[in-house]
């Protein structure tokens, strides 16, 4: 590049000359400095224009003002050269200092504006308490200059720091000048727009309050951040406990400043911590300033919205009360911003004052933790209120946990000290949309004191969240707290345990929480000596779609002076198994009934009868076993509960019918009949019908001479179930029972339709085979003439198809049973042209039963063609 332009000559009592322009690729010359003036100083010369591709020269400095004279203006910057590598604009000239300690000191002057790409000049400093000069604006793409500092306070008021320079398009704003004692911080310049999206500068820091003077002030507000910039920090409140200054607000996308701390308590009251700055759009809120003794924590600024979805700040911590003559309850924690956690309540200290309440969570944020109750350091009568009163012989309550924000968990309750009551729990926030809701908060145990309270309930779970556990009842056997209810799809919480019996009665276990839709019920709390078990929550209904949850298990009956029967299990949701009935315990009480299965689910198992722990004749009967749960459509029935000595078995539930569509499920099996010595035996239950394509269930076996149950009917295309076995008569002289009848075979499927061209239609499916006759049993006296069962008839053939074979007769010990008749042949297919098709062949007769020592039964007749 060419040589630099020549330096302009310095003006004598006049302006400096302009710098020469740079040659192609060269730097412009520096403007000459303005001369100092006896009265008015001269301006500095303008920097030379940069050559093509070269940087511009710097502007010359203004001359200093004479006695009582004003300073000269800084020379403007030359413009950066065009093209080439795009030269950087020169730095703006620096403003002259104000005159010092004169009768009329002047403010610092404005810094020069930066050329294209250049930084604005710094404003001159104020001297003698006057304001600093504003920073020069940045050129296009350049950073604004820094505002001049305010002058020191040599009189009464400090000078204010000047505003930072405006950022050029795409450049950062300059910093605000610092204020001196008593001055306010200069506001931030705004970040430049466009270009690379300039980042706004940080807000100026607020000045601290004056210290220990006759008129102390609170800290000043921090400057507001420019676009993308963080707000300034609030000044500290000092001297006699004055308040801290508020944090500056963040610019769009920037974080709010931190609130100033409250002043130390050098008089009577501590200063409050200032509020955190408001977050800019998309930016976090600033932290609240800490409070000092006696002051309240500053509340939190709200998290900025939009952008990347800034997280709200955590609420400020409440201050603990002081252990003084007149201690106060602790302050409440600040509320969390959107997505932020609530602040912790302050601890109650000194004579047992209460803990502060926790701040509530913002939307999506958890509630804060309640403050702890104060320790009991009193020794007299009932404690007075927060503003004083008598000495305190009881302890303070723990504060309530903060309310959970939407989708956030509740905060924990504060712990209590001796004699205080636990703070109640905040309620769990409602579940946010999507995702899993938070768990409900846990109830706190009661204290072991002269007047313990029952434990608080757990919070309700959000959507998909589990309910909270109830608190344990403690001290003199108080009751446990109820469990929180599960949100939809979530489990209910567990009931709190009853308190230990340290007086006369144990506390009752609390009821388990209600299951949300599709969720299990929570367990009931355990009981202590003498208490009654909490009843079970009911299992939640199955959710829609997918597999429903299992029904909750019924609670066992308890074994105490007033035993109860077991509870019924909850009903299964769609596809879910019914819950198991509770066992009957204590003096032979009955088991609880099983819950029914949801559609497609199995019934639950009946609860077992209680053991016979009685001693008198009235107590000699064991508890009844409960009935098995009803099978849902396509599901098996549940098993009956076992009986104990002297009790009768519960009847079996009936097998559920097969589901429709596709291949039906097999019918549920009928339960075996029951037999207990000295009681009337029951027949076996019938097997359930098969669904389409499903086999019928097997009939239950007869016991003690009762008949077997009939086999279930096969679904279309499915096999009939076998009949249940007849029971051998173990009583003397009585006839044995008959076996149950086999289930009917399902209908054979249709043959396929003929294709084009009068081709032959598909052959019909085989008719279902008749079931085999049941085996005749030898009777108790050894005679061999027991009647054998007949074989079932074969099913009819489909159109063009063969009939099914008859079933074989029974055998062993008696004459063989007669074979069933063959099925009828199907009719010929109807055709409109050509030769008629032949009708189907008659089915073959069933074979006679093979006899052991007797003549076999005759074969079944052939079916009709």
The answer on pLDDT for 149 being more than 50 is yes
Closest to 184 in 3D by CA, of 164, 202, 159, 216: 159
pLDDT class for 482, splitting at 50, 70, 90?
low
- Mean pLDDT within 624-636: 46
Sorted by sequence, the CB contacts under 8 Å of residue 577 that are 6+ apart come out as 550, 551, 597, 601, 602, 603, 604, 635, 638
Weakest-pLDDT range from 173-187, 262-276, 307-321, 560-574? 307-321
Number of helices followed by number of strands (H, E) in the chain:
0, 0
In tens, the pLDDT along 352-407 reads 444 455 444 444 444 444 444 443 333 222 222 222 222 222 333 333 433 433 33
Are residues 138 and 144 in contact, defined by beta-carbon separation less than 8 angstroms?
Answer: yes
pLDDT for 680: 52
CB burial of residue 609 (10 Å; 0-12, 13-18, 19+):
buried
pLDDT for 828: 44
Sorted by sequence, the CB contacts under 8 Å of residue 529 that are 6+ apart come out as 500, 501, 506
Q: What gap in Å lies between CA 606 and CA 185, rounded to an integer?
A: 79
Tell me which long-range contacts 831-839 makes (C-beta under 8 A, separation of at least 24): 831/758, 833/758, 834/758, 837/760, 837/800, 839/865
Q: What gap in Å lies between CA 284 and CA 305, rounded to an integer?
A: 9
Q: What gap in Å lies between CA 42 and CA 63, rounded to an integer?
A: 6
The answer on pLDDT for 121 being more than 50 is yes
Are residues 801 and 795 in contact, defined by beta-carbon separation less than 8 angstroms?
Answer: no
Phi-psi map region of 101: left, alpha, beta (phi>0 left; psi -120 to 50 alpha): left
pLDDT for 788: 42
**Inter-CA distances, 672 with 637, 680, 689, 704, Å:** 12, 14, 17, 11
Q: Which range has highest mean pLDDT (20-34, 319-333, 618-632, 750-764)?
A: 20-34
Look-up of token digits 């040659």 = 23
Higher per-residue confidence, 806 vs 861: 861
CB burial of residue 377 (10 Å; 0-12, 13-18, 19+):
middle
- Mean pLDDT within 470-498: 50
In tens, the pLDDT along 587-611 reads 445 555 555 555 445 555 555 544 4
Sorted by sequence, the CB contacts under 8 Å of residue 22 that are 6+ apart come out as 1, 2, 4, 5, 28, 29, 48, 49, 50, 51, 54, 55, 56, 57, 81
What proportion of the chain, given as a percentage, has pLDDT over 90?
0
619 three-class SS: helix
In tens, the pLDDT along 435-444 reads 233 334 344 4
Are residues 121 and 109 in contact, defined by beta-carbon separation less than 8 angstroms?
Answer: no
The answer on pLDDT for 546 being more than 50 is no
Q: What gap in Å lies between CA 205 and CA 861, rounded to an integer?
A: 111
- Mean pLDDT within 283-308: 41
Are residues 90 and 58 in contact, defined by beta-carbon separation less than 8 angstroms?
Answer: yes
pLDDT class for 228, splitting at 50, 70, 90?
very low
pLDDT class for 615, splitting at 50, 70, 90?
very low
Q: What gap in Å lies between CA 707 and CA 693, rounded to an integer?
A: 28
**Inter-CA distances, 405 with 226, 363, 438, Å:** 31, 4, 10
pLDDT for 340: 45
In tens, the pLDDT along 646-661 reads 333 334 433 333 333 2
pLDDT for 258: 55
pLDDT class for 18, splitting at 50, 70, 90?
low
Look-up of token digits 């239609």 = 761
3-state secondary structure 59-122: CCCCCCCCCCCECCCCCCCCCCCCCCCCCCCCCCCCCCCCCCCCCCCCCCCCCCCCCCCCCCCC
The answer on pLDDT for 846 being more than 50 is no
pLDDT class for 804, splitting at 50, 70, 90?
very low
Mean pLDDT of the chain: 44
Closest to 460 in 3D by CA, of 520, 514, 531, 385: 514
Sorted by sequence, the CB contacts under 8 Å of residue 561 that are 6+ apart come out as none
The answer on pLDDT for 717 being more than 50 is no
pLDDT for 92: 41
Q: What gap in Å lies between CA 838 and CA 835, rounded to an integer?
A: 9
Weakest-pLDDT range from 106-110, 193-197, 368-372, 834-838? 193-197
Are residues 297 and 334 in contact, defined by beta-carbon separation less than 8 angstroms?
Answer: yes
pLDDT for 87: 36
pLDDT for 643: 41
40 three-class SS: strand
- Predicted TM-score of the model (pTM): 0.27
In tens, the pLDDT along 491-540 reads 555 555 544 443 444 444 444 445 444 444 444 444 443 333 333 333 33
In tens, the pLDDT along 316-365 reads 334 444 433 333 444 444 444 444 444 444 444 444 444 455 444 444 44
């Amino acid at each position: 590049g060419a040589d630099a332009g020549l330096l302009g000559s310095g003006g004598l009592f006049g302006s400096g000359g302009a710098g020469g322009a740079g040659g192609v690729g060269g730097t412009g010359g520096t403007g000459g400095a303005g001369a100092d003036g006896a009265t008015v100083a001269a301006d500095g010369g303008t920097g030379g224009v940069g050559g093509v591709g070269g940087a511009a020269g710097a502007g010359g400095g203004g001359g200093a003002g004479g006695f009582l004279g004003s300073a000269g203006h800084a020379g403007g910057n030359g413009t950066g050269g065009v093209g080439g590598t795009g030269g950087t604009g020169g730095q703006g000239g620096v403003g002259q200092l104000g005159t010092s300690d004169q009768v009329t000191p002047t403010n610092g002057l404005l810094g020069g504006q930066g050329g294209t790409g250049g930084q604005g000049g710094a404003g001159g400093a104020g001297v003698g308490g006057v304001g600093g000069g504003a920073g020069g604006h940045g050129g296009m793409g350049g950073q604004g200059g820094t505002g001049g500092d305010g002058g020191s306070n040599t009189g009464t008021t400090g000078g204010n720091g000047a505003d930072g320079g405006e950022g050029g398009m795409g450049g950062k704003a300059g910093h605000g000048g610092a204020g001196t004692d008593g001055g306010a911080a200069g506001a931030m310049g705004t970040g430049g727009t466009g270009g690379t999206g300039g980042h706004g500068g940080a807000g100026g820091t607020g000045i601290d309050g004056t210290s220990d003077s006759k008129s102390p002030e609170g800290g000043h507000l921090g400057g507001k951040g420019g676009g993308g910039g963080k707000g300034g920090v609030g000044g500290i409140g000092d001297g006699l406990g004055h308040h801290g200054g508020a944090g500056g607000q963040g610019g769009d996308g920037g974080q709010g400043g931190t609130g100033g701390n409250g002043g130390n308590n050098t008089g009577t009251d501590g200063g409050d911590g200032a509020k955190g700055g408001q977050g800019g759009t998309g930016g976090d809120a600033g932290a609240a300033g800490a409070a000092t003794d006696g002051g309240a924590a500053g509340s939190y600024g709200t998290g900025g919205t939009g952008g990347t979805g800034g997280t709200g700040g955590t609420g400020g911590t409440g201050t603990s009360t002081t252990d003084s003559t007149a201690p106060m309850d602790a302050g409440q924690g600040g509320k969390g911003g959107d997505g932020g956690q609530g602040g912790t309540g302050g601890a109650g200290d000194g004579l047992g004052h209460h803990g502060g309440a926790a701040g509530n969570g913002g939307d999506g944020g958890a509630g804060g933790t309640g403050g702890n109750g104060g320790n009991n350091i009193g020794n007299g009568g009932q404690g007075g209120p927060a503003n004083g009163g008598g000495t305190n012989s009881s302890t303070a309550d723990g504060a309530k946990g903060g309310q959970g924000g939407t989708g956030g968990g509740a905060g924990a309750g504060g712990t209590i000290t001796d004699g205080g009551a636990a703070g109640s729990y905040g309620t769990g926030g409602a579940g946010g949309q999507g995702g899993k809701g938070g768990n409900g908060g846990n109830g706190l145990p009661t204290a072991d004191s002269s007047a313990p309270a029952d434990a608080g309930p757990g919070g309700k779970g959000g959507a998909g969240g589990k309910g909270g556990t109830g608190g344990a009842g403690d001290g003199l056997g108080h009751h446990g707290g109820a469990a929180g209810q599960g949100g939809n799809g979530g489990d209910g919480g567990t009931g709190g345990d009853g308190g230990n019996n340290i007086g006369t009665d144990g506390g009752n276990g609390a009821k388990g929480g209600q299951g949300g839709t599709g969720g299990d019920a929570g367990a009931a709390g355990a009981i202590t000596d003498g208490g009654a078990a909490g009843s079970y929550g009911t299992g939640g209904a199955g959710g829609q779609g997918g597999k429903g949850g299992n029904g909750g298990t019924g609670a066992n009956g308890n074994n105490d002076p007033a035993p109860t029967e077991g509870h019924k299990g909850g009903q299964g949701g769609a596809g879910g198994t019914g819950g198991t009935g509770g066992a009957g315990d204590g003096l032979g009480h009955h088991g609880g009934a099983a819950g029914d299965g949801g559609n497609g689910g199995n019934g639950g198992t009946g609860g077992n009868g209680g053991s016979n722990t009685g001693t008198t004749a009235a107590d000699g009967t064991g508890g009844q076993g409960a009935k098995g749960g009803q099978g849902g459509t396509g599901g098996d029935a549940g098993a009956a509960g076992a009986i104990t000595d002297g009790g009768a078995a519960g009847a079996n539930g009936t097998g559920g019918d097969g589901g429709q569509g596709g291949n039906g499920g097999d019918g549920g099996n009928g339960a075996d009949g029951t037999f207990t010595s000295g009681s009337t035996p029951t027949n076996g239950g019938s097997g359930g019908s098969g669904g389409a394509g499903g086999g019928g269930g097997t009939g239950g076996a007869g016991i003690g001479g009762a008949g077997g149950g009939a086999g279930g009917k096969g679904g279309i295309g499915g096999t009939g179930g076998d009949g249940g076995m007849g029971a051998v008569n173990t009583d003397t002289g009585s006839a044995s029972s008959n076996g149950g009848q086999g289930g009917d075979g399902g209908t054979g499927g249709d043959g396929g339709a003929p294709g084009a061209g009068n081709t032959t239609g598909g052959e019909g499916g085989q008719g279902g085979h008749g079931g085999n006759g049941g085996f005749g049993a030898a009777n108790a006296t050894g005679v061999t003439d027991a009647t054998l069962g007949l074989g079932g008839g074969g099913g009819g053939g489909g159109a063009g198809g063969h009939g099914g074979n008859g079933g074989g007769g029974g055998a062993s010990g008696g004459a063989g049973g007669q074979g069933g008749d063959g099925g009828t042949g199907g009719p010929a297919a109807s055709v409109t042209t050509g030769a008629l098709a032949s009708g189907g062949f008659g089915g073959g007769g069933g074979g006679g039963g093979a006899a052991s020592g007797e003549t076999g039964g005759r074969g079944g007749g052939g079916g009709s063609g």
